[in-house]
Structure formats: structure tokens, C-alpha cells
Structure 1
Amino acid sequence: MKDQETHHHDQYGDWPPADGRHEDTAWQDPASYPRYRPQQYAQQPYEQPYPQPYEQVAAHVVTGTQTHPADGREAGPEAPAVPGYVVPEVPVSAWSIDTRRSTWIGRSLVLCVLLVQAGLSFRLGGRAFAAEAYYLAPGHHRIGHSGVYPVVAKAADAVGGLAAARSLSLLFMLGVTALLYAMTSRMFNERAGLAAAGLFAVVESTELLGSLATADAMALFLIAAAAWALVRTGRSHPSLALLAAPFAALAPATKSVAVLYLPSLVVLAVLSAYPYRGARAFLRGLFFGAGTLLLLGAAAYLSGGLDGLTSATTGRAHGTDPALDVLWRSAEWGGLVLLVAVGGAVDYVRRSRMGEMPWATGDTPGAVRRTALGLLMCGTALLAPVCQAYLNDDVSLFKHVGFGLLFAAPMAGLGISRLVGAHFRYPQLGIMVWVGVLVVGMAQTQTLYRPPDSGQMVNTLRKVVGKDGRYLAEQAEIPAYYLADSTRRDQWHGTRDIDFTDKSGEHHTGPDGFRRAVRAGWFDAIVLNGDVTPGTDKAITDALHGNSGYRLLAVLPSTDAYGSTTYRIWVKR
């Protein structure tokens, strides 16, 4: 027993301590630590337990600049200090790499946006609105005197009817979204372009214009093409701005409201080139403005004047809708996107370097140019609402709002991009805004898109009309379009105006003209529904009351954009 204690003492020293201290506190005195005796540990041959290939990889341990073999032998001077694997340098963001892969990713996302837009427009259907029939019917009968769009619409209608004409509008609107993406990506960055396209694709006006066979979609496409051409050539020679002039000049010839946005395009031509061309950017505005005016002048000379360009803008008659109501409706249809655009513009003025692009280097546009660009893009969105509020008229306002949103969308896309933050830090905020715009847009289209239920009315009239009659209808465009195979367009008269000449040669206009024409038996059939021109309808019904020359043929319930209505059809005895 004593030998064991002696061996323990020789091996570990005095342990436990001889002074009687407790074992739990003995560690506090370094002098009481056990003495280490290395001679008691004999070196044993190292056996490598790991199979190949790990045996080869673990044969050396890299420390500093020396390589020490695992078996304990001294390292030779020839052993290199090379690690087994080197981690490549990682860019700050995948969006910073302009490669074919990133390009195709962006285009694939744009394709998804376009598919969503097409689905939202395709879900809207029904029979033709009066506005659609207005464009399509002149395209059939008066091609040379009805503007640009009816000629194009006639070709589509001849191939596939109303569905083909509406599909043409959808193609134009899909082109608008694609051009918006390209323009915004050029102005700011890829993320802003995708966000701008995503927002614009789901707003109310985009959904409706893609489902209506009217001239609005084509005119908006031409404006988008002009804006894209100006931004795309901003870093090139100033004379290349002339490439955008044909698109800009053709837009008012398609839809007169487009003339409101020509000044904005001129300013955009300057601002898009100023960071790269300096004062020479003003030459771009001069080239573009002069080229556009020259083409417009030539078109006016060939067509006989500029009356068509001002008929729906400055020369338009004042209506009866209160200005505040017009502005409120405009805010309902485009206010959310405009609000996001204003936020993006304010942040763009505050910070020239975009936080979502930490890799960006080089000079940035000055504060004056950034402020001017923000005012231009957001202010242009207010042109149609302010103009129609001045005219006290909300006719087609839900469509005209989309023209201004085309300019506000790039700033809205920038606002979404900065709201999400660098490296997609807060994607839920961007998703929340997009879903809000989507839901609001879908709800508004369900309210606004109510095609007239005109099937029974057209079928009833088909039995009593012919090539030699004269017909009066409150929405004459609808029966004129659907009965084009059995009547001519000039046989149909609307209820908005009339110039009736009685037997004595005296001319009568307005409600009195309609009253006298009905009493004289001037029309062979009369169709009223009481929605569009109630004052004229009252004068006509008063003339029909007790009139033995007409009989009531049918009373047909229907629905249209105004709600429930009733078609009343009188025919001449």
C-alpha cells in the first residue's frame, strides 16, 4: 500500500494538498497543480484510422507558412503552403452581374408579368360596347375618313370578329408593358423595371384597355414606343432622337388625347440624355420636337386640318360633372400607383446612389436633374385628370388615367425597389403593395366593365330593318355594328344631335328637332333605353305618345354600364 502511495506521490506530487485545503478550492493555487512528467508517456507509432482519400488530404496540416506532416516528422523546406480549396470571390449581389443568365432571368420574370396581364384582360368578355362599335363600324364603311385605328381594327375584325379586334388591343397593351420594363431598366435598374412592369400590368386601366377594341391601346403603345426610343438613345448622338418622332406623331392621329403627352416626351428627351451629353441634351429635345411637329403638320395638311387633334382636348365642350368628382375618380383609379411613384421620386431626389445597387460606381445625376425627372414623371400622370376636371367631363376618364400611369410607373418601380431594400431585405413590403394594386384593379374592372346585353335587341331589329330605311337608336353604334350585313352605317342616327328639315325647308335641331322628326314619321324604327340622353328621350317619347304612325314592337329588359335598363322598340306602321 505504501508503495502505491509513493508511486502516486512521485507521479502527481502532493495531491490532495497536504495543508488540508478542500479539493474544490485547491485549483485556485497554481502551486498545488499536479506536476506533469512527460517521461512517463512513451511515444507510440501513429496509426492513421482514416481510409483513402481522406488519408491523403489529412496527411498535412497547414499552419502559417510551414507544412507539418501528421506523423511528427520535420517538414522539409520544399513543402508548399497551398490550401486544399480556395473560396472564390462573391459579388455583393447577383443583380450586379450583367450576364446572359441574369438577362434571361429578367426576361422570364417579365414573361410571367405579361401572362398575368393577359389573364386579367382575357377574363373580361361580353358583347360590344358602344365605344367599340363606334370604332369598328366606321372601319367597315368609311375607312378613308375615320383615323388610323379603324383601318387596323377592320383587318382584325374581318379575320376573327370582335374577339380578334379585342386581341389586337391586348397585344398593344402587352407591348406597352414590355416597353415600360425596357425603358425603366435603362433609366434606373433591372429591379425597378420589373417592379414598374408588375404594377402597370395589374392596374384597372391596363386591364380594361387590353379588353376593349378601341383606339386607346394603340395610342398608348405609340407613346410608350416613343418614350422608350428616347431613353434608349439617350447616350447616343442627339439626332437619333428623331427615331421617336414617327411614333409620337402617329399617336395623336390614333387618339386625340395623346397630344397632351407630347410636351412630356420633349422634356424626357432632354433629361434622359443630360447626364451623358450635358448641354447638348437640349439639342435632342429640339430635334425630337421639330421632327414631331413637322410630321404632325404634314398629317394635318393631308387630312385637312388639326380639328381632329383638338376635338377631344382643348376644343372639347364642357360637361356637367363636378371637378372634384372627376379628381376623386381619378384618385380611385390611379392614386395608389401615383402615391408609390411620388415616394420613389422623393427618395430618388434625396439619394442619388440607389441603396439596392451597392456595387454601383461613377458619377450620379445631379439633384436638379433628379428633381426635374421626378416632377416630370409624376406630374404627367395628372394631365388627363386635371384637363377633364377643368372640362367637367369624366367621359373615358378611366381609360385616360392609364396614359399618365405609363409615365408614373418608372418612379413607382423605383419606389418599390427601394422599399424592398438591398439584397431583398424586405420583400414582403413590395409584395404587399403589388397585391393591393392587383386587388383594387380587379375590383374596379368588375364594376366598370359591364357590356350591354344587346343580343335580344339586335335579334328583334334584324326582323324589321333593311337597306332602304332610316333608323334612330340611343346607342346607334351597337345595332349599326351587329347589323352591318343588312344595313348601312349612314342609315343609323344617334340621339345626341339632329338637323331635321321639314317640308317647308326649315331646319330644326336639338330636342325640338327630334320631336318634329318623329311626328313627321321620318324614322322607320326607334330604339331607346333612357340611359345616354334622357332629355332627348323624353322629347321623343312625348312625340310617340298618341302617335298613330308608330307602334310599340318590343320591351326588352337588359343591363349595361349604367345598371339595369330596358330597350323599347317602336316601328313605323
Structure 2
Amino acid sequence: MAIPWSQSMTEHHRWPVWVEAVGFLTLVILAAVLRSGLDYRTAALPEATHLFGGWQVLHGQETHAMAFHPGWPPLSMTPLAWADAMGGLVGARALSAGWGLLTVVVVALTARRLYGSSAGFIAGGLVAVYGPAIHVGTFATQDSLGVFLVATAVHLAMVALTGGRRFLYVFVGLALALATVVHYVALVGALALIEFLAILVIASILSRPRTGADQPSSSFQTPGLLSLVGVLLPLIAVMIPYASIYRADLLAFLQSLVLTAQSDQTGSWQIFKLLRDLLWLPFLMGILAFDWRGRRIPAAGLLAMAAAWLGYQFWNRDTGNLVRLTAYVFVVVAPMAAGGLVTLGQDWGQHRHRWLKGALIGLLALGVIVYVGWSGQAVLAGNRGYWPDATQLVEYLRSHVSDGDEILMEQGIIGRYYLIAHPTPGHTPANIWDTWWYQDEEGEGSGADLYARAIRQGRFDFVVFDYTVSADLDRQLLPVLQDGYHLAITFPSDTSFSPGIEVYRRRSPSE
């Protein structure tokens, strides 16, 4: 049963097809240019984890990457590994950029559906220039695909909600299910959307039917019980087998999330300030969209998803993923912000010429887009320079490591990606151990005593420290290295978080 909702403003208009085609092409070109710098630094820890994990899957090896970055390997890792095999790290980042470009288009289509062509271009422009979205779209992890799938689910939900076919709800559920197995954080938004749709279903059941004379001229196609089931079935059908197959990895990751939340490492006020700096203006513009009475229901759905993700961030307290989380939030905030700008322009230009009203909306939108893009550049720069640049280190190891060598390396997954997944003949190590886990026939774990024993026994041919993720352990092991190892070379890290990259080499018996 359809519940109509009154709409006080003029029906949103669409531009000529050729104008929209040119506009969307311009959006894609703008987004592509802003995402064209793909060789900015060597692989970061999350990138190396995904790429090496995908390489292991392609070669039939067991991977433990899900314990740190849970996601179904065929979707979250394997496509990136294929792209990496064909084009290296730049190829993998290019795949992420491709998903980012599609996200720009889908978000623009969502805003166009809700508020008209002008809003579509505004929303697309906001996503195209948003710093965290550019970061996610040029980072070889599962986030770019996850954001695209969430944007697709949101678009299909808005189409179904604003008079589209009800069978689309099945595809909404499928997109949400795929997004969730790509990145768990999508489940937070999925549950919020499902709860919102359930409220609409209950409202439709409890409301009294209107007569034809009572109904306004425009209406929403309120979802029925079958529509809600259509969303839930694909999600359940995918999530139950996924959770049962990977339950050990997922439980380990869930435990780490709970421990992070309980550690209270970052105060709520600090998290609020970080989110405020990234989202305050789009959120402010989005609130104005509620002035458009005929679009308050879909705007409420978008706001519910955004609020759920923000609430999760305050619960989780892990600021390391905060910037990437805002990329998910932005795919629902951007259409609202675009609708708010169009609404504001219509209010101010209510008694003015259509061209003057269009110019007013254009200037407002341009100002917001420029501000969002300018303020996001600092975020982009910070998220592209927080890990050591290993270019010189990799070149050195590729020329000095011998087949079968054992290496202890801080952020060892980066070494495994460059030296094992992309081996150099005659210079492929047998193992590269991390500074947070080691095992041999005498024990396993991450304690300093365990590493100290292995170093004294000369089990490592090379030891590499960069003092970023395990600086305290590195410094504890330095005195132990003095007997059997010598500092072979030091490289600049090109980051303020590390004093440099130190390579220690085991002394030969003659030394």
C-alpha cells in the first residue's frame, strides 16, 4: 500500500539529456584527474596485507589476513591481487580508483533521483573532490569497492522508495550483503537502513487508508512486508554461510574491536572534533534538505545511515580508520547536502527569474564544493604520508638477500609483498617475520624474550626496524643485536613518524 506524502515545492526538474551527459562526463573526468596520482608511495601496511593475502589465495595458500582486515577474499583481496599481478601496486590502486569513479556516478544519480539534475551534479562534485573519498579511491584495499556497493544499495533503495519497482528491494539486500562481506562496517549502515524500512512498513500498517480526495498529487511507494523480506533474504543468505565458514577469523577480529572500544584510547570529544572537521558543512547543508517536505522521508533514511556509522565510530574509538569511515558516511550525506543547497536556492530565488535562481544555486554549490575539496587536501596529504617510504629498502633487499634467507622485519607483510609475491630470481627469502609474531620449534608469540633468543641464536639473516608500530620492542632488541649483527645501512623514512629505516645484517663467522 502506498502512503502519499505532501510536497510543497515545485516538482524537481531534469535537464536535457545531452546536457546531463556532458555534465556526468565532466564529473568523471574531474574525479579521474583527482585520482590520477597512484604512485605516491610504496605500499602501506593495509595495502600490503590485502595484496599479499590475495596473492596467497590465488596460489592456493592459507591466508590469515582476515584476522586484521575481515572481508571475503574473492571480493576484498583477489581482484586487487589480479590487478597487482597485471600492473603492480599502481594497477591495484587503479582498480580502487575505478570503483571510486563509479561511486561518484552512483551518488550523483541518487541525488538526481531525489532532488533533480542540479542536485545530482552537486552531489557528484562533492564526492569527486572529497579528500577521504580520494584517499579511499587511490588506496589498494577493499574500502573503495565497499563504498561503491553501499552507494549502489542506497541508490536502489531511494529509487524503490520514490516510486520504483518493489523488486528492487531484493537487489538492495544483495548489494548490502556484498558490501558487508567486503567490509564489515557496511553492516552498520545496512542495519540502519533495514530498521528505517521496518519503521515505514509499520507506519503503513498502522495508518488509516486515505480516500482519493485526501491524497496529495505526489506519493512515495512505501515498502510493504514483502519488500522488507526482499532486503533481508539476500543479506541472511550471504551472511550465515560467510560467518560460519570464517567464524574463527571473525571472532578474533570482533574480540580486537571490543578490546579497542574498551581501551578508551581516544576521548569522545577528540573524535567529535575530527568528524566535525571532515563533515560539518555537508551535514549542515543536508539538514536544509528537510525543508523540502516531499523529500523528508528519503532524507530521514539517509540521515539514519549516517548517524549509525557515526555512532559506531564513537563506540569503536579507533581513529585509525576514522577517515576511511567518513567515505562511507559521505555517500549518504552528499545527496542530502545537494538537496539542501537546491532547497536553499529555491527559497532565496522563489520570486526571481529561473536563470537567476539557477545562477544562485550554482554559486552556492561551487562555494561548498571548493571548500570541501580545499579542506580535504590536508587529510589527503596526511593519509598518504604516515608510513615509511620503503623504495630504497626494497631495492637494497632485492640485491642483497639470498634465496632461503630469514628476515625479521617491522611491518613484515610489506617485505613479503615486495620480496615474495614479487620475487627477484636468486633473492627470494624463505620467511619474513613480523615484530608482532614469531614462532619456531622452541616457542611462539610476540614477547621481547622470544625475539631476543632467536637473535642470539642467529636465526635471522637480516633485521629491519623503522620504529613505527613496535618502537618499544625495537629499542629493547637493539642491545641484543650488538653481538651478532652490524648496522649495514640506514634509509630515510620520509615521514615524521619514523626516524629512519635501519637494516642490520648478521655478521659472518670471519667478522
TM-score, normalised with respect to structure 2: 0.80
Tell me the residue number matched to 2:342: 417
Of the structure 1 ranges 206-215 and 428-437, higher mean CA displacement relative to structure 2 is found in 428-437
Deviations 1:130-166 (A, max 9, x none): 2212211121223465612221012111211111111
Q: Pick from 429, 442, 456: which aligns with 2:392?
A: 456
Q: Select the residue among 201, 211, 215 that pairs with 2:138.
A: 211
| Counterpart selection for 1:491 from 431, 453, 458 | 431
Q: What is the rounded CA distance, in whole Å, between the counterparts of 1:104 and 1:309 in structure 2?
A: 52
Matched, 1:430 2:365: yes
Report deviation, 1:476. 1.5
The answer to whether the 8 Å contact 1:200/1:405 transfers is yes
Q: 2:285 aligns with which of 337, 340, 349?
A: 340
Q: Which residue does the alignment assign to 1:72?
A: none
Deviates more, 1:409-418 or 1:508-517: 508-517
Larger Rg: 1
- Aligned-pair CA distance for 1:313: 8.8
Instruction: Please tell me whether the aligned partners of residues 252 and 309 of structure 1 are also in contact (alpha carbons under 8 angstroms).
Output: no
1:276 is aligned to 220
2:247 paired residue number:
305
Q: Aligned-pair distance for 1:496?
A: 2.5
Secondary structure (helix, strand or coil) at the match of 2:35 reads helix
Say whether 1:119 aligns with 2:33. yes
Pair 439,286 (structure 1): closer, same or farther in 2 beyond 3 Å:
same
CA distance in structure 2 between the partners assigned to 1:377 and 1:232 by the alignment: 13
2:417 to 481, 495, 505: 481
Q: For 2:436 and 2:258, how far apart are their aligned partners in 1?
A: 15
On the 8 A contact 2:122/2:338 being kept in 1, the answer is yes
State the one-letter code of the partner of 1:465: V
Which of 39, 44, 53 does residue 129 from structure 1 map onto? Answer: 44
Q: 1:536 aligns to what?
A: 473
Question: Which letter maps to 2:83?
Answer: A
| Aligned Cα root-mean-square deviation (Å) | 3.0
Which amino acid in structure 2 is aligned with residue 276 of structure 1? F
How far residue 293 of structure 1 moved from its aligned partner, in angstroms, is 1.2
The 1-side partners of 2:402 and 2:126 are apart by: 49
Offset of residue 119 of structure 1: 1.2
Q: Take 1:377 and 1:283, find their aligned partners in 2: how far apart are those partners?
A: 22
Q: Secondary structure of 2:499's match? A: strand
Question: Are 2:432 and 1:522 equivalent residues in the alignment?
Answer: no
Q: Mark the CA change 1:118 to 1:509 in structure 2 (over 3 Å): closer, same or farther.
A: same
Can you list the C-alpha shifts for 1:367-399, whole angstroms capped at 9, x where unaligned? xxx2x6444423433444443333332122211
Q: Secondary structure at the match of 1:472?
A: strand
**Closer/same/farther in 2, CA of residues 237 and 418 from structure 1, 3 Å limit:** closer
Q: Give a deviation string over 1:495-533, Cα, whole Å, max 9, x none.
A: 23345653xxx5554333333332333322111111122
Q: How has the CA–CA distance of structure 1 residues 115 and 237 changed in structure 2, closer, same or farther, with 3 Å as cutoff?
A: closer
The residue type paired with residue 493 of structure 1 is W
Q: Is 2:492–2:499's contact at 8 Å kept on the other side of the alignment?
A: yes
Which amino acid counterpart does residue 212 of structure 1 have in structure 2? Answer: F
Q: Is 1:466 matched up with 2:402?
A: yes
Deviation at 1:288, TM superposition (A): 0.4
Q: Deviations over 1:221-275 (max 9, x none)?
A: 1111222222233335534411222221111222222222211332465689974
Gaps of 5+ in 1: 1-91, 353-363
| Cα deviation 1:184-225 (Å, max 9, x = unaligned) | 222232222221111121111111112111110011111112
For 1:570 and 1:314, locate their aligned partners in 2 and report how far apart those are by CA, in whole Å. 32
Q: Name which structure has the greater RCO, CA cutoff 8 Å, separation 6+.
A: 2
Determine if contact 2:437/2:444 at 8 Å carries over to the other structure.
no
Q: Which runs of 5+ in 2 are unaligned?
A: 1-8, 66-72, 205-218
Q: Structure 2 vs 1, CA of residues 391 and 264 (structure 1 numbering), >3 Å: closer, same or farther?
A: closer
Deviations 1:254-308 (CA, angstroms, capped at 9, x unpaired): 2222222211332465689974344x5343123202321122113334x342743
Letter in 1 for 2:185: V
Separation (CA, whole Å) in 1 of partners of 2:369 and 2:164: 35
* Secondary structure of the structure 2 residue equivalent to 1:214: coil
Instruction: For 1:177-192, list aligned pairs within 5 A.
Output: 177-192=104-119
Contact persistence 1:471–1:492 (CA under 8 A): yes
Asked if 1:328 corresponds to 2:273, the answer is yes
Post-superposition Cα deviations, 1:429-487, rounded to whole Å, max 9, x if no partner, equal 22222211121122321233226321111112123323422212112122222223147
> Matched residue of 2:108: which SS?
helix
Aligned residue for 2:147, secondary structure, equals helix
Q: Could you say which residue in structure 1 is the equivalent of 2:125?
A: 198
Summarize the alignment of residues 399-414 of structure 1 with structure 2, pairs less than 5 Å apart.
399-414=324-339
SS at match of 1:292: helix
| 1:527-573 CA-partner distances (Å, limit 9, x unpaired) | 111112222222222432x3x2222111112213x445311111222
Q: Which residue of 2 aligns with 1:10?
A: none
Report the TM-score when normalising by structure 1.
Answer: 0.72
C-alpha deviation, 1:309, in angstroms: 8.0
Relative distance call for 1:240 and 1:386 in structure 2 (3 A) is: closer
1:380 alignment partner in structure 2: 305
C-alpha change, 1:554 and 1:508, in structure 2 (3 Å) is same
> Which of 19, 22, 25 is matched with 1:105 structurally?
19
Q: Which residue of 1 aligns with 2:230?
A: 287
Matched residue SS, 2:435: coil
- Aligned partner letter, 2:253: S
Instruction: State the distance in 2 between where 1:419 and 1:248 align.
Output: 32
CA deviation profile, 1:4-54 (whole Å, cap 9, x unmatched): xxxxxxxxxxxxxxxxxxxxxxxxxxxxxxxxxxxxxxxxxxxxxxxxxxx
